[in-house]
Structure 1
């Protein structure tokens, strides 16, 4: 199934790209595992980032003819935008903001879950970190259009035990947490004149509880290549389509 998805996704995305790209320039992608795309496609260096060559940033750049700098890395928190992130295999990822330079015309930011959970699921603790990050992106890339990526529905309300073997109270925390995080990301994007890419509505019903043939997010025991409770290759393809629409509308 995955191979067919890759071929189909490439064909459809290529078909969306005009003969002369509508959007010229350099696209920088920064963020956590939801941007990186662990465990499907070809995993790029540094290997500890588990960054796919078929994540939504790569698909978007391919469709629009953009030059891509993808600094995203699984496990990243906002602090890793500023300092090197230590990885497995004695490797490190660059401070992700090093990729954000004056020539950038598009920047996508896909961050927040790791900080949100580590901060006790507190939006108030995360907000000032997001504010500082968006200010720093603007200072480094003053001519860029900044896109703040929302988060997919990972689990529906109350979960679907035993299909996804998480107790209902934990599943509900996942559900409510994604809702709260998306609301915060949308709010801070608006304050900083960035575009919030609201991917959540399209993902409803494609969460880890959905049948395999329509699932965009894998469960605790993935049935398609993906990190547990993360977006699979089909989900990244769908997210690329949403980002492409946003870029064409705003960049």
Structure 2
């Protein structure tokens, strides 16, 4: 049965009102979300990938921790104005350092926590030093040793960190960030490591990320996988967001540039937060 003109008009009017109310509800929800973000205390924990080593513009007060205003935690805080921001990530940090030196700012009012941790425990720096300075066979053996550590010891260390974070900040949303693959295989590099070494290092990064993601999920935390964000911006890509060996500032080698922080880490963290 066809609707009369009056009935059809009333039906259209009701639909318009319903859509308007739905839109208002969405706007109100978005506004409430923004207000919650502004009211959230944010604590940034972790290692050099969170402190911003490689991005430059370091806070002189952070000393050897090398916390950068171009690191993703500082960029997110500047864009979202959390009620408080404690940036305690530190270059060279291991899981034990997070436990002993970085958890002080966490409390029951903390609403958001970020961290990247585990790479130094697994011997990231020694792996890269071995691969750059020694033979291919030594490189592959050192990578295999790191993978075994990730399987045997790292999960327990991550559990200790995650348990401590949850105990001190029971209501916080916790975002654990992973590590990028370092190399574009068959890319533009004509010297340096062999393709076999580059492939092994990339595979080890994936292995570390998988282990970290599982531990994070088991604690109810969100894992931020940055490998996709860095695809096309690895070393040997021609548009790298990662430093290769930097002999003038060796500590920045294999760390994200400012573009890697803003274009790689920041969007992933923003989506997860």
Shorter-chain TM band: 0.7 to 0.9
Q: Give the aligned partner of residue 98 of structure 2.
A: 81
- The answer to whether the 8 A contact 2:181-2:205 is kept is yes
Question: How high is the TM-score relative to the length of structure 1?
Answer: 0.78
Question: How high is the TM-score relative to the length of structure 2?
Answer: 0.72
- Return the match for 2:62 from 46, 49, 65: 46
Q: Distance in 1 between matches of 2:248 and 2:190?
A: 15
Moved over 4 A (4+): 157-161, 222-226
Correspondence 1:14-29 to 2 at 5 A: 21=35, 23=37, 24-29=39-44
Tell me by how many angstroms 1:74 deviates: 0.6
Could you say what secondary structure the match of 2:103 adopts? helix
**1:179-237 Cα distance to aligned partner (Å, 9 max, x none):** 001111111111000011111112112111122xx321111138999811110000100
Q: Distance in 1 between matches of 2:231 and 2:53?
A: 22
Q: CA RMSD in A?
A: 2.7
Q: Give the aligned partner of residue 175 of structure 1.
A: 202
Going from structure 1 to structure 2, the CA distance change for 1:180 and 1:188 (only over 3 Å counts) comes to same
Q: Give the aligned partner of residue 237 of structure 2.
A: 210
- Return the match for 1:162 from 166, 169, 190: 190
Corresponding pairs, count:
217
Q: Distance in 1 between matches of 2:59 and 2:216?
A: 30
The structure with the larger Rg is 2
- Return the match for 2:48 from 22, 29, 33: 33
The question of 1:105 aligning with 2:124 is answered: no
- The answer to whether the 8 A contact 1:158-1:171 is kept is no
Unaligned runs of 5+ in 1: 1-17, 84-94
**1:104-146 Cα distance to aligned partner (Å, 9 max, x none):** 1100121011111277332221011111111110000001001
Q: Distance in 2 between matches of 1:194 and 1:158?
A: 35
The question of 1:139 aligning with 2:167 is answered: yes
Q: Give the aligned partner of residue 226 of structure 2.
A: 199
Tell me by how many angstroms 1:45 deviates: 2.0
Tell me by how many angstroms 1:43 deviates: 3.0
Could you say what secondary structure the match of 1:130 adopts? helix
Q: Distance in 2 between matches of 1:199 and 1:53?
A: 20
Greater helix share, structure number: 2
Tell me by how many angstroms 1:21 deviates: 4.8
Q: Give the aligned partner of residue 116 of structure 1.
A: 122
Q: Give the aligned partner of residue 232 of structure 1.
A: 257
- The answer to whether the 8 A contact 2:182-2:234 is kept is yes
Greater strand share, structure number: 1
Q: Distance in 2 between matches of 1:190 and 1:74?
A: 25
Tell me by how many angstroms 1:168 deviates: 3.5
Unaligned runs of 5+ in 2: 1-30, 125-144
